[in-house]
Amino acid sequence: MEFFRIGRDIPFMRYARLFNAISIVTFLLAVVFLFTRGLHLSVEFTGGTVMEVAYSQPADLAQVRGTVAALGYGDVQVQNFGTARDVIIRLPVQQGKSSAQQSEQVLAALRSASPDVQLRRTEFVGPQVGDELARDGLYALAFVVVGIMIYLSMRFEWKYAVAGIIANLHDVVIILGFFALFQWEFSLSVLAAILAVLGYSVNESVVIFDRIRENFRRYRKMSTVEIINNSITANISRTIITHGSTQIMVLSMLLFGGETLHYFAVALTIGILFGIYSSVFVAAAIAMWLGIRREDLVKTGRKDGDPGDPNAGAVV
């Protein structure tokens, strides 16, 4: 399905050096922000108190969040748990207060606003659990990266594996850089969004790589640069449909999903935009500079032009 077809190839690779220079600067700035400002980790990673409360009517999360924030908890997480009447509250550690004291103070404030609220459970999440979650999250990220590299090496060729993984890491580091710069809360849902972005970005790269391989078979007289430009141009309509429809869904979560889905949707939005950019100007350009050739992608048992070659005689 195509909304439109572009008659002339767009010379993307003509601007590859410029955009990759911008990418390098952006990447380095993200690394600087990560080391100087660090990530603003949520309660799941740092430890804190988790409370589950229940209301007789559907809870007003904005009111609950405001009541708890008035007690001095700037990093409080409030979300529904199970039903609209059940609410889970995650409180960061406060110096000089135990978990029991925190829960009693919050419960008293909630009951002053809504006398029908009931405490279901309260528990303390220690820093050891937070360290374990952070470690497991890094393991998950590493396994995804290794899996993508193995997949691209088997599907295409090592040059594409290197180009694809650099583009994917480029997206991840820039997302983390945004969260470090603006000190947005980094939670497990944001980590899940980053893992989703990895798969989403590599999918776009694979589609372009597939078209490049197809065009290497089809067009014998085109140069590598012309093949890449033609492949990216031919995928523009598909890219607009796929990423546009996905971004509409993510935008709905960003605007109407509330605090619970806000940073999850923010991470996805950044990842989608940079995923398109990196697949075109980073992955394709690096593959070009690594010296991809028709022989790298088209592996047949016959020489070009043999009578048994199904592509023999194909011309531009």
Instruction: Note whether 203 and 62 are same-domain residues.
Output: no
* pLDDT confidence of residue 34: 93
Each residue of 54-63: pLDDT tens digit? 998 888 888 8
* pLDDT confidence of residue 169: 87
Last residue of a domain, one of 78, 94, 125: 125
Each residue of 247-290: pLDDT tens digit? 999 999 988 887 778 899 999 999 999 988 998 899 999 999 98
Distance CA 223, CA 230 (A): 11
In a domain, 306, yes or no: no
Q: Residue 238: which CATH number? A: 1.20.1640.10
Instruction: Note whether 293 and 151 are same-domain residues.
Output: yes
Q: Which residues constitute the domain of residue 219?
A: 12-39+130-297
* pLDDT confidence of residue 270: 94
pTM, full prediction: 0.78
Instruction: Note whether 163 and 178 are same-domain residues.
Output: yes
Last residue of a domain, one of 79, 94, 125: 125
Instruction: Note whether 147 and 232 are same-domain residues.
Output: yes
pLDDT at 205 over 90: no
Instruction: Note whether 69 and 149 are same-domain residues.
Output: no
